[in-house]
Structure formats: C-alpha cells, structure tokens
Amino acid sequence: MKYVDEFRRGDVARGLAARIAEAVQPGRSYRLMEFCGGHTHAIARYGLTGLLPAAVQLIHGPGCPVCVLPIGRIDSAIELALQHGAIVCSYGDCLRVPASNKLSLYKARALGGDVRMVYSTADALQIARDNPTRQVVFFAIGFETTTPPTALALKTARAEGLRNFSVFCNHVLTPPAMQHLLAAGDAVQLDGFIGPSHVSTVIGSAPYQAVADAYAKPVVIAGFEPLDVLQSVLMLVERINRGEAGVATQFTRAVTTDGNATARAVVAETLVLRPTFEWRGLGQVPQSALAIHPDYADFDAELRFGLPYRHVPDHRACECAAILRGQKQPQDCKVFGIVCTPDNPLGSCMVSSEGACAAHYHYGRFTAPQEQPA
C-alpha cells in the first residue's frame, strides 16, 4: 500500500534501532513520554519497545480521547439518552467507556436509550434532519483533531436552522495537559516528549514552544507510523545528548509551524476556552478544554438540557489516573487483566485501542510471564 508500507519497513526499522542503540550514552536516562494514544497503539502494535535499548523508556501519556473523559461526562451523556429521550450520537470508542451504576452508553442503549455510533459529525447532522421531532445531541469528544468537525457542525446547524440539533462539547486541548503533567507536584521524571501527530496537523508545532521552553524539554512531533515513532526517538535521544530543548517536527509531511488556519478559524468562531475542566487522571486542568461560544449557545446541549456536572471518583482499585500521568504502567495495576479486561473494562484506559491498558492487553501481555492464563 503506497504511502503506508514505506513507513512500516522492517529493514529501515532495524537500521533506526541500531542508530538509536549507538546514540544512547551510558549512564544517561531517556524517559520519553508519547503523548498520544495513536503512538501508544503503534508502539504496542509493532512491538517497538523490543527494538529499543533498555536506557530508552517509553512512558504512556494521557492522549487517548476516551481515556481522559471523566465519568461524570459520560453519566451526562447517558442522562441525555435515558432521561431526556434524546438521540445521542457518539464516536464508536465512546460507547463502551464505563460510567456510574455499571452503565455505559452501550448499556444505556440496551435499556432503551437511543444511542447511535457515527463516523462523523455529518452523520449526526443527517440524523437530526431525518428526525425533526426528536432532540439529537452530538457527544463531542477528543483533542484538537476532532474539534474542527464539531465546529463545522455547529456552523452548519445554525445556517440550516436545525433547531433539534445540539452539541455536548467535551473537547480538550493538548498543550495545557503537557504543561500540567510537567508542573504537577508528583510529576513523573521526563526527558522529552514524542509530540502529538494528528493534533499538530491542526494546531501546528508552535503551541508546544512555550511548554518546551518553560520546562527545558525537547518535543519532537511524530507521525503515527512505526518508523515515524522510531525516527522521533532517535531525534529525541540526539537532542537529550546535546542538552537541547525546544520543538522539532519529524512529521514534516503533514505538520507545519502554524497548522491548518481554516480549521483553527472555524474553531475560534464557534468554541471558547473553559476556565477549567476535569480530566480523568489529571483532575481539574485550567484552560484545557473548550465550550460552545455564546454566539452558538442555542446549540449547546449543556444549556439546552441544563446538565449539571458531577464529579465521580474512579473505581478504588483502578490505576487509570496514575497510568494517565505516566506514573504507573498497566501491569502495575492489581486489576489489570484479571477484573479489568477489554470485554469488561473497569477503567477507561482498558476501553479504547489507544488506551495504554488495552494496547498492552491486546498486543503485549505475553511479555509478562507471571500472568495467569485467561
């Protein structure tokens, strides 16, 4: 497959791995956080950890859209479906995230809620057009990658006067989360970031500069293909050796300094910064999420349905919070693979294939020989 196979070549991977092994300096640690779930998935899917020298440690970050969504937000989406009788449209991964009372959007559907999986906001708009007598809510989640389509849906709904459509906005922002991770009192020791891929196609590489400068860390924006990740690791190792901070881009085929101006403009027109937002694992993070712009208040599901936000604590045994902060690995969690499995997830990291726990469970758990057979 053209433009894909080139980025998955084993011979090139081995060449890069050899160069990384050569570049690594004795006595130095290279603790690299891959921010995005897309990277976590690629690392697990292609067995990249096994190609790296022991000195290079990859630490999973919080960049998995469904993983960082707090339980209270899923509860609200379920409430929209069950109590308000709305058609709730959501991206597929969201449906299985465990919420309060042993519910999920999937289980809400089995209880009679009208929950529909969509592939794009255009599908949600079409559902609203097709069901003029029903309230249709798009459950908007994700980082800057999925934000422009939500923004466009708001514009379209307003232009068409689609009164039965609204958006329950939960979009979150990457740079504030990186800063929060580095600033936290219990911050995990990091030597560099494998920076977001698709997110950066929208926002560009510039927004990471402030974080990189403030904490003197190198950030290398990396594509999601396995060779992208390996090349970025090499770039980070070289920068760490030179003591060089700042932002560099490996994913040059898609990322520019300023990103996609059209997409950023439509987001700026329809969405505004929230003063603070709860992230699963990270807690309240200031200026880290978007709400619907007052000009589009008519399409804001939180206002239309008067949704109150309630904080809901994680399951006691679940280590998702520490895993999302990079402090623990999935296998450090007592319930990993025993009570918490992809079929019956306790925590959000076990849900999406981009979640650290699900990625390790699906692709890597044979590397932990102490586990009991399933």
CA distances from 85 to 81, 107, 342 (A): 5, 15, 29
CB closer to another protein out of 181 and 199: 199
Q: Which helix (H) or strand (E) holds 152?
A: helix 147-160
Candidates 198, 282, 214; CA nearest to 247 is: 214
Judged by CB, which is closer to another protein: 117, or 254?
Answer: 117
How many Cα atoms within 13 Å fall on the side-chain side of residue 221? 29
Secondary structure E strands in 250-340: 271-273, 276-279, 283-286, 290-292
What residue has token string 């994680």? 314
Q: Find out whether 291 and 166 touch, Cβ atoms under 8 Å.
A: no
Residues 6+ away with beta carbon under 8 Å from 361: 330, 336, 337, 341, 342, 350
**Do residues 76 and 303 lie in contact, with contact meaning Cβ atoms separated by under 8 Å?**
no
Task: Give the residues lining the site for another protein (CB under 8 A).
Answer: 1, 4, 8-10, 13-14, 36-38, 41, 44-48, 50-51, 63-66, 91-96, 106, 117-119, 123, 126, 141-143, 145-146, 198-199, 226, 341-343, 352-354, 358, 361-366, 371, 373-374
- Give the nearer residue to another protein in terms of CB position, either 240 or 355: 355
| Strand order, beta sheet including 87-90 | 114-117, 87-90, 136-142, 165-171
Distance of CA 65 to the CA centre of its chain: 3
Rank residues 92 and 132 by Cβ distance to another protein and give the closer one.
92
Which lies closer to another protein via its Cβ, residue 51 or residue 173?
51
Q: Compute the distance between CA of residue 79 and CA of residue 90 in angstroms, rounded to an integer.
A: 14
Integer Cα distance of 283 and 297 in angstroms: 26
Q: Minimum Å distance from CB 371 to another protein?
A: 7
Between 16 and 78, CB nearer to another protein: 16
Instruction: In angstroms, give the least distance from the CB of 285 to another protein.
Output: 19
Q: How far is the CB of 147 from another protein (least distance, A)?
A: 12
Determine how many CB atoms are found less than 10 A away from the CB of residue 97. Answer: 26
Closer to another protein by CB, 168 or 361: give it.
Answer: 361
Minimum distance, C-beta of residue 173 to another protein, in the bound complex (Å): 14
Do 198 and 225 form a contact (C-beta atoms < 8 A)? Answer: no
Region at 89 (left for phi over 0; alpha for psi -120 to 50; beta for the rest): beta
The CB-of-310 to another protein minimum distance in angstroms stands at: 24
Minimum distance from residue 275 beta carbon to another protein (Å)? 26
Q: Which is nearer to another protein, 2 or 242 (CB)?
A: 2
Least CB distance from residue 28 to another protein, whole Å? Answer: 24
Please report how close the Cβ of residue 6 comes to another protein at its closest, in angstroms.
12
